[in-house]
Amino acid sequence: MKRALGLTTAVFLAAAGSAFAADYPTRDITTAVVWGAGGGTDVCNRTIMAEMAKVLDININVINKTGGVAGANGMNYVKGQKADGYTLVGLSESNVTSAVQGGFDSKFTDVWHPFIVGGSPDVVSVIPSAGVNSFKDLIEKAKAGPGSIKACASGAGSIHHLNLLAVQDGTGAEFQFVPYKGSAPCQNAALAGEVSVVVTSVAEQQQLIKGKKFVPLAVLVADAFTIDGFGTIPSAFGDYPKLSEFLPIMQAIGFAIHNDASDNVKQTLGDAFTKAMQGDVMKKFADEKYYVLSGAHGDDAKAVFDSLESQFTWKLFELKAAKFSPAKFGIAKP
């Protein structure tokens, strides 16, 4: 009986498999977002999925599978599902640290075939009482008194911390880094005057920038960034070209499918993704959420994630915050 059942299942699966290969997608797709509802990754996935659903003419359900080390629960859940393209994982650059922290057992791009929607660039801001008007001004001041200016950039080993470190490496200035549990407590500390420099994303700071609580000095990407109703924030690369050796380290928010999904699935999703990204809805989304859109998928996106993974994991290892050496997973040094 059992054997018969097994056989039937096998036959069914084979039949189903071939059907999928020829024709994808034929039923609803589920996207499991590894971060909480309402967070950047969640909102981004809900928007892009709604657009892709229109292109693919099926439903895409977005659910949240949170928890675990660096989003490991959601990633392991999707990894355990069939590689048939019907279960996607919504994720971000922060998930690349899961492996070295003991939550996930492989190098990121060995398992995932990523699609990057984009992210909000990091911006260096000061509080008005700091009396600094330009990025150059700030760097010169920091150079004059190494470690005398207090800066916050979320927690140690976070993307904002990596951006601050890159600023130090690229300009030779030295700040006193004060860690907080996230961007919100860090920005709060700046409002209270506990630190004077803030490095977080434009999306996180925009309200405080427009409300004149923070003075934005420079964005840490190659191009200047315009905030509606405020003005343009110059790129830090202008005065310090050497920064381009270390930056940008930008958010990469998007989703991924199994690497061993069939080419047909990758192709179909890739086309739908590209089409969705070109639509007006995503442009409007980028404006409202202060994102820079990417649109990279497949090998291009893998290159981005490989670089982020290498920088993040080795930094954490250096901070002794990693459980395993990145070398264990074959992650190259930056």
Q: Which residues bind another protein (CB under 8 A)?
A: 36-39, 42-43, 46, 63-64, 66-69, 73, 101-103, 150, 155-157, 176, 178-181, 184-185, 187-189, 191-195, 206-208, 210-213, 288, 316, 319-321, 323
Query: If 0-12 CB within 10 Å is exposed, 13-18 middle and 19+ buried, where does residue 31 land?
Result: buried
Q: Which two tokens stand for residue 267?
A: 């192709």
With respect to another protein, which residue has the nearer C-beta, 181 or 242?
A: 181
In angstroms, what is the minimal distance from the CB of 16 to another protein?
29
In angstroms, what is the minimal distance from the CB of 118 to another protein?
16
With respect to another protein, which residue has the nearer C-beta, 136 or 323?
A: 323
DSSP 8-state secondary structure symbol assigned to residue 103: S
- Helices (H), ranges, 113-182: 135-144, 159-171
Question: For residue 244, which of 167, 296, 129 has the smallest C-alpha distance?
Answer: 167
Q: Which two tokens stand for residue 218?
A: 């420079």
With respect to another protein, which residue has the nearer C-beta, 115 or 285?
A: 285
With respect to another protein, which residue has the nearer C-beta, 41 or 163?
A: 41
Q: Which two tokens stand for residue 325?
A: 């050496």
DSSP 8-state secondary structure symbol assigned to residue 57: T
With respect to another protein, which residue has the nearer C-beta, 25 or 103?
A: 103
In angstroms, what is the minimal distance from the CB of 120 to another protein?
12
In angstroms, what is the minimal distance from the CB of 161 to another protein?
11
Interatomic CA distance for residues 286 and 141, integer angstroms:
34
Interatomic CA distance for residues 175 and 145, integer angstroms:
9
Interatomic CA distance for residues 100 and 282, integer angstroms:
33
With respect to another protein, which residue has the nearer C-beta, 131 or 193?
A: 193
In angstroms, what is the minimal distance from the CB of 216 to another protein?
14
Interatomic CA distance for residues 99 and 91, integer angstroms:
14
**Coil, helix or strand for 76?**
helix
Interatomic CA distance for residues 89 and 66, integer angstroms:
11
Question: For residue 123, which of 236, 286, 230 has the smallest C-alpha distance?
Answer: 236
Interatomic CA distance for residues 123 and 198, integer angstroms:
8
With respect to another protein, which residue has the nearer C-beta, 94 or 235?
A: 94
With respect to another protein, which residue has the nearer C-beta, 23 or 288?
A: 288
In angstroms, what is the minimal distance from the CB of 176 to another protein?
8
In angstroms, what is the minimal distance from the CB of 167 to another protein?
19
In angstroms, what is the minimal distance from the CB of 265 to another protein?
27
Q: What is the DSSP string of 204-238?
A: HHHHHHHTTSSEEEEESSSS-EEETTTEEEPBTTT
Interatomic CA distance for residues 198 and 186, integer angstroms:
7
In angstroms, what is the minimal distance from the CB of 321 to another protein?
4
With respect to another protein, which residue has the nearer C-beta, 17 or 231?
A: 231
